Amino acid sequence: MFRACVEHLRARRLSARHLLFTAVGCVLVVTLYYSALPNTVSGSEIWRTIRPPSTTPPHVWKQRAEAVKAAFRHAYSGYEKHAKPHDELRPLSNGTKDNFNGWGVTLFDSLDTMIMMGLNDEFARALPVVSRATFETNAPVTNRHEGYAPFFETVIRYLGGLLSAYALSREPLLLQRADDLGRMLSPAFDTPSGFPAFGVDTVTGETVGTSSGVLAEIASCQVEYTYLALLTGNKVYFENADVVMQGLWKVNLTTLGGMLPRRWNLATGYPGDEFLTVGAAADSAHEYLLKQYLLTGKQDKQALQLYLRTTNHIFTHMLYLSEARDLLYVTDTNRNFMPSHNFEHLSCFLPGLLALGADQLDLSLDDLEYETLGPIGQRSYDILRNYDLRALHRWAAEGLATTCWLLYDEQPSGLGPDVIHFQPRTGEWPARGAPPPTAKLWIDGMERWRKAGARGYPPGLGEKKPVRLTRDEIGSAKLRALRVPERDYVLSRPEYFLRPETLESVYLMWRTTGDPVWRERGWSIFEAIERETKTASGYASSKNILLSPTLLDDDMPSYFLAETLKYLYLLFHDEDMVPLDRWVFNTEAHPLPIFAWSAWEKSKFGIAEPSP
Ligand code: DMJ
């Protein structure tokens, strides 16, 4: 038998020695693989999923970056040809939209992307429009913002766009116009609390809006106004940013675990509800806690404190695992921290933020002031102190980013839905308000994993297999509400609005881990965008990501050029054009340079020295 076997091997030109080497090699690889997995959560070693190296050669990444640049050119030339100087292009009808003041939001939002892509002709053609803009709120608009500028959107798109383009080009006109716009928007802060009003008439200075505001809209202007204060030396701009930070800081949030809720009262400066979310109407406010800290050279200790309190609460109350596949997701909670199990595309910025924080901070619970937390925050702290905090942030980032990507990968169109709802595999929801029986808090899973010796993948991590729909399922009349047990979720909103959040996180995962899988995932999303959403003059939102070819909507938001295509370009571009220790992206992907206040600026603006 043995002789026959050896003869057979010889005939196939394989010797027993070959086999022996192969077997020893295999054992070695398997041993190395398993010894690389962590068995402790208290050490400083950071674990991440181990994957084979990329097989995509360097010249292909160059081609991919060029393909994204071509996509930007296609979208922007369509805008220039059919819509400039209006706000946005309608990419199916070649009509126009004036949804953000009618000053040309697509142009302003695109300036820094043009500079990064080396599109000098487009940039040169844009400057006269920037120069002529009056920033007066008297242009006819096609939405409900008649006679005023919506403060938040105007700050993140126009002001952020101008400041970033100035930082990258040093073109004096851009700073002048940022100064003009920053000044004309400043009356928005004339509210009893100092939190900015929803809108402002830039001609009369009158504010618009009710006394109730949402978190994202009142607390996502700090990085823009802080950088404008640095460039101009104007104290008013510093105070605009500071009044927001101080307003958030002084509120006692211990009953909410230290997290900022969604609704706020602009008259009193106090929270207006107990709804906690990182999604719509709140998202960028949480983002700016970390980003304000980073932008100002890690001096603003209050911003750090607020960020650590927020993430501590998210880690212990808002991260869940899906039932069938242990997909990690972040959801929102109402009274008594009752989860909705909704998961929004907008929330997919969170993994990138966590990855950024873990990369740029020496994350430690020692920096979190225990006495100020109150019983709920202290309970969270007591659980989290068992972990290497940096590792925990990285694990959450990786698990969440994987889910965000998978939600694209497993749809027939390859595009991601706007909102989904996670649900138990079988049975109906229990009575209103009660948690679903199978809902699994991530931290509970982590605690079990830790107590069992922390072997193998932490819950929610590791490779997740996409569950693709069958032909029958796709043909089903109830496609939208389709319940496929292995998928764990149903679609609440099946649209893809060309949003950037997943690609933003994919980009930050790539930059902070160096794992090429994120580049490959980004490329697969770009291919789907090209295949499904490209029109003769631009790119169009999808009405239903379950259909391929998908159903298109006559809409190309400016953030598609400002964010989605920029993050894709940076993902494939070899040179790190925006090093994370030198730049901070505003929430519209406009990078601003990190700086430290000089002694004079501290004295002039009244900035207190951070306590040791
Ligand atoms: C962008 O305008 C910004 O990123 C904002 O903070 C919320 N999301 C939209 C795009 O989805």
List the domain boundaries for the chain: 37-605
For the stretch 479-493, pLDDT in tens is 556 667 678 898 999
- The pLDDT > 90 percentage for the chain reads 82
Q: What 3-state DSSP class applies to 222?
A: helix
Could you tell me which residues are beta bridge partners of residue 421?
342, 490
Confidence class of residue 26 from pLDDT cuts 50, 70 and 90?
very low
**DSSP 8-state class, residue 299:** -
Whether the pLDDT of residue 82 is over 60: the answer is yes
Whether the pLDDT of residue 254 is over 70: the answer is yes
Centre of ligand 1 to C-alpha 349, Å, is: 9
At residue 597, the pLDDT reads 98
Whether the pLDDT of residue 50 is over 80: the answer is no
- The pLDDT > 70 percentage for the chain reads 87
Cis? peptide before 610, omega within 30° of 0? no
Of residues 281 and 11, the one with the higher pLDDT is 281
Whether the pLDDT of residue 201 is over 70: the answer is yes
For the stretch 490-518, pLDDT in tens is 899 999 999 999 999 999 999 999 999 99
The fold adopted by the segment(s) 37-605 is Glycosyltransferase (1.50.10)
At residue 44, the pLDDT reads 38
At residue 474, the pLDDT reads 77
Burial 168-181 (b: 16+ CB within 10 A, else e): bbebeebbebbbeb
**Number of the ligand 1 atom closest to the C-alpha atom of 501:** 11
At residue 53, the pLDDT reads 77
**Number of the ligand 1 atom closest to the C-alpha atom of 287:** 6
**Atom 3 in ligand 1: residue holding the nearest Cα:** 588
Please choose, from the candidates 98, 100, 283, 286, the residue with its C-alpha nearest in 3D space to the C-alpha of residue 199: 100
Confidence class of residue 145 from pLDDT cuts 50, 70 and 90?
confident
At residue 481, the pLDDT reads 61
Whether the pLDDT of residue 9 is over 50: the answer is no
Pocket test of ligand 1: the residue of 151, 222, 349, 588 to mutate, having most ligand atoms within 8 Å of its CB, is 588
Centre of ligand 1 to C-alpha 545, Å, is: 20
**Atom 6 in ligand 1: residue holding the nearest Cα:** 587
Centre of ligand 1 to C-alpha 205, Å, is: 26
Confidence class of residue 20 from pLDDT cuts 50, 70 and 90?
low
For the stretch 259-305, pLDDT in tens is 999 999 999 999 999 999 999 999 999 999 999 999 999 999 999 99
Centre of ligand 1 to C-alpha 313, Å, is: 23
Burial 470-507 (b: 16+ CB within 10 A, else e): eeebeeeeebeeeebeebbbbbebbbbbbbbbbbbbbb
Give yes or no for a contact between 503 and 571, defined as CB atoms under 8 angstroms apart.
Answer: yes
At residue 480, the pLDDT reads 58
For the stretch 83-137, pLDDT in tens is 999 999 999 999 999 999 999 999 999 999 999 999 999 999 999 999 999 999 9
At residue 378, the pLDDT reads 98
Whether the pLDDT of residue 557 is over 80: the answer is yes
3-state SS string over 445-471? HHHHHHHCCCCCCCCCCCCCCCCCCCH
Average pLDDT over residues 396-413: 97
Please choose, from the candidates 78, 139, 86, the residue with its C-alpha nearest in 3D space to the C-alpha of residue 561: 78
Confidence class of residue 29 from pLDDT cuts 50, 70 and 90?
very low
**Atom 8 in ligand 1: residue holding the nearest Cα:** 346
Whether the pLDDT of residue 215 is over 80: the answer is yes
Instruction: Point out the least confidently predicted range of 7-21, 181-195, 426-440, 575-589.
Output: 7-21
Whether the pLDDT of residue 530 is over 60: the answer is yes
On whether 587 is known to bind a ligand per the annotation, the reply is yes
At residue 141, the pLDDT reads 87
* Sequence-ordered list of residues with C-beta below 8 angstroms from that of 333, at least 6 positions apart, any chain: 275, 276, 277, 317, 318, 339, 340
Q: Output the ligand 1 site: residues, CB below 6 A.
A: 283-284, 346, 499-500, 559, 587-588
What average pLDDT does the chain have?
91
Pocket test of ligand 1: the residue of 113, 214, 346 to mutate, having most ligand atoms within 8 Å of its CB, is 346
Tokens 């497993």, residue located: 410
Enumerate helices (H) and strands (E) in the chain, giving the number of each. Answer: 23, 19
User: Is this model's pTM higher than 0.85 or not?
Assistant: yes
Give yes or no for a contact between 542 and 552, defined as CB atoms under 8 angstroms apart.
Answer: yes
Please choose, from the candidates 134, 147, 244, the residue with its C-alpha nearest in 3D space to the C-alpha of residue 181: 134
Confidence class of residue 437 from pLDDT cuts 50, 70 and 90?
low
At residue 24, the pLDDT reads 53
Whether the pLDDT of residue 47 is over 80: the answer is no
Left (φ > 0), alpha (ψ -120 to 50) or beta: where does 463 sit? Answer: beta
**DSSP 8-state class, residue 436:** P
**Atom 11 in ligand 1: residue holding the nearest Cα:** 499
Of residues 28 and 321, the one with the higher pLDDT is 321
**DSSP 8-state class, residue 348:** G
Centre of ligand 1 to C-alpha 280, Å, is: 9
At residue 222, the pLDDT reads 98
Centre of ligand 1 to C-alpha 294, Å, is: 20
Instruction: Point out the least confidently predicted range of 23-37, 365-379, 496-510, 533-547.
Output: 23-37
